[in-house]
Chain A
């Protein structure tokens, strides 16, 4: 297994730093998937993350001037690493005035992602900062949980308003209730609502626009004025919005009809969204698994930050 890559362009470096900072805000630990063409930051849902999952993808050639990797085998040419997202973000932030940044997979008593930064210096001498980020290599058998999600049909999909505006509204609502209702329709209207015994507050967004439907039938069936509603934990929504420092190039929100399958085995409960290829996960290896099928909705955020795509899934409150 080998990986080495280099960034020499300042703009690419800043963009990559911004991506890593965003990931650090969205997840404490996540999986970095390295393949010949792409880099992915993956958070597959676990009870620990409250059922939230994420798939972030970037094309490596948009960032790296040099990129070489060798997966664990020729057929499985990928590397999956678990790391603490904040470490990568912190390491990249020290590369403010870097001449060059190199990342490579190393083994210094334990596997590390070594980020080596050559700084521009006033004097003739060079200064080098090295960060050894400890990583855990994920074995091949667990890769199926970390594949790209397939998006099922959605009730409604809508373009989002400026995320900063949305965030400041949701932040204020958080003080009143943890339970947020998101309503959207095919006329470009989005409502954020909280209801308590004493008060009900709704913020209405209009003229947002809707992305073209996936299939012709879906659009004809549904009356455009009809609102589709989903209930989410406001803190999860806020964490997602807080991670977006810059307004994305494009932001779409979909309400998905999901089905969560809960596997219970050996006391571990895991909920699975419609991830492709995730039919049998770790839970299935254990004897005596019980399956509970719960039909539930999922809110899917599909963002594009220049050339980096981010998909974020928040399960609805049952």
Chain B
């Protein structure tokens, strides 16, 4: 593989790597016919991010030397990030960036051609890996909202940088509401401040969602894509499906940016109960479905009794296409667990453990659903397969 990035695109590439570094510790690099894909997933498998740079993004793009199959590699995010550590310096001094990988060497070579004839060569060791591909399809999500990144950047400004989760929903008058989400701790005497931002529909380029729908996701992870979108001046779209409406089990939310040369997707798990329980939200249906705020600690158990609490991760392809994807519906995090931001021990074993007693929060040990031995596809995968969701009870 050999790709050459020049000019301003080097900084764009660097910014993308910075965004990905907010999610995971390992970068999966895969040269495809459609372009170079950079992907990562967090340790608890509750956040997945990928950028695909089209061949036209590069001055030169060669996915695989003829006769050889395309190589895939997994690199430590820290190492790759170190190449683009200071974006300001990259912007000022780097003229070209060449990324190459050949079967013989055991290193991914990233060479920066800088001003004044300076050339920096980074040899990054990598591991062969399977293709990391999350199963998601924005088209399946009934709710979409899209706004310039600047609008969303301003929307998250009032929230403290340390805030972990935020609830996004549609309130009365078709206003888009963002509210800080606090896990209720029964024994805490000091309550936290709740911040809410309300934006009018007019600020959005697209708003396809009914009043009352809401999702809760990790703000810190979302900020990764947001900062990329702001620097590239792109629009950001959010595709989601709120629980209780068309599906019984909450799905992850898909955040996407796109332009002619690249596209980026961040898929983040959502919490099961997302409730914009406030006077601003006037949908009576939501009130019926969401547990009241006071009784926050107890209803979780009831909600979870019927859920498949084992599979709370983003669905991932596990086998080659011929066997069909063993996709598992993406399910929320248990509120009893600390959400995406905390790393969990990572096991590559995809044998499902017997489920724990319903009603108890799932064990902290997160299992990966997606690594098995995958036959290396000869051609690039035909794009994400649709999520195969189990029948919603009573609604199928």
Contact = CB atoms under 8 A, between A and B. Distances in A.
A108 to B, nearest CB: 8
A134 B191 contact: yes
B199 A125 contact: yes
Contacts of B308: none
B201 A125 contact: yes
Contacts of B192: 134
A126 B158 CA distance: 15
Given A94-B158, A123-B203, A130 B193 contact: no
A132 interface: yes
Interface string A39-83: 000000000000000000000000000000000000000000000
A109 B191 CA distance: 11
Interface string B149-183: 00000110110100000000000000000000000
Nearest to A93: B158
Interface string A109-142: 1100000000001011111111111100000000
A262 B299 CA distance: 48
A128 B173 CA distance: 13
Contacts of B190: 84, 134
A111 to B, nearest CB: 10
Interface residues of A, number: 21
A94 B178 CA distance: 15
A102 to B, nearest CB: 14
Contacts of A126: 200
Interface residues of B, number: 22
Contacts of B157: 94
Given A109-B293, A109-B294, A130 B202 contact: no
Nearest to B202: A125
B378 interface: no
A131 B193 contact: yes
- For the residues of A in contact with B, the DSSP-based class is mixed
Contacts of B200: 123, 125-127
A13 interface: no
A142 B155 CA distance: 41
Interface string A82-95: 00100100110010
Contacts of A121: 203
Contacts of A130: 195-198
B194 interface: yes
Contacts of B202: 123-125
A90 B293 CA distance: 25
B230 to A, nearest CB: 15
A129 B158 contact: yes
B193 A127 contact: no
Contact of B193 (A123, A128, A132): A132
A91 B193 contact: yes
Nearest to A135: B191
A220 to B, nearest CB: 53
A68 B155 CA distance: 31
Given A109-B293, A125-B201, A90 B193 contact: yes
B233 to A, nearest CB: 15
Contacts of B194: 108, 131-132
A20 to B, nearest CB: 13
A109 B158 CA distance: 22
Nearest to A111: B191
A134 B193 CA distance: 6
A94 B278 CA distance: 21
Contacts of B278: 108
Residue among A91, A121, A123, A129 having the largest count of chain B Cβ atoms under 10 Å = A129
Interface of B: 154-155, 157-158, 160, 190-203, 278, 293-294
26 contacts: A84-B193, A90-B160, A91-B195, A94-B195, A109-B294, A110-B191, A123-B202, A123-B203, A125-B199, A125-B200, A125-B202, A125-B203, A127-B154, A127-B155, A127-B199, A129-B158, A129-B196, A129-B198, A130-B198, A131-B158, A131-B194, A131-B195, A132-B194, A132-B196, A133-B193, A134-B190
The 10 closest A-B pairs by CB, nearest first: A125-B200, A134-B191, A94-B158, A125-B202, A132-B194, A87-B193, A130-B196, A128-B198, A129-B158, A131-B195
Given A108-B278, A132-B195, 13 more contacts: A94-B158, A110-B191, A125-B200, A125-B202, A125-B203, A126-B200, A127-B154, A127-B197, A127-B203, A129-B158, A131-B194, A134-B191, A134-B192
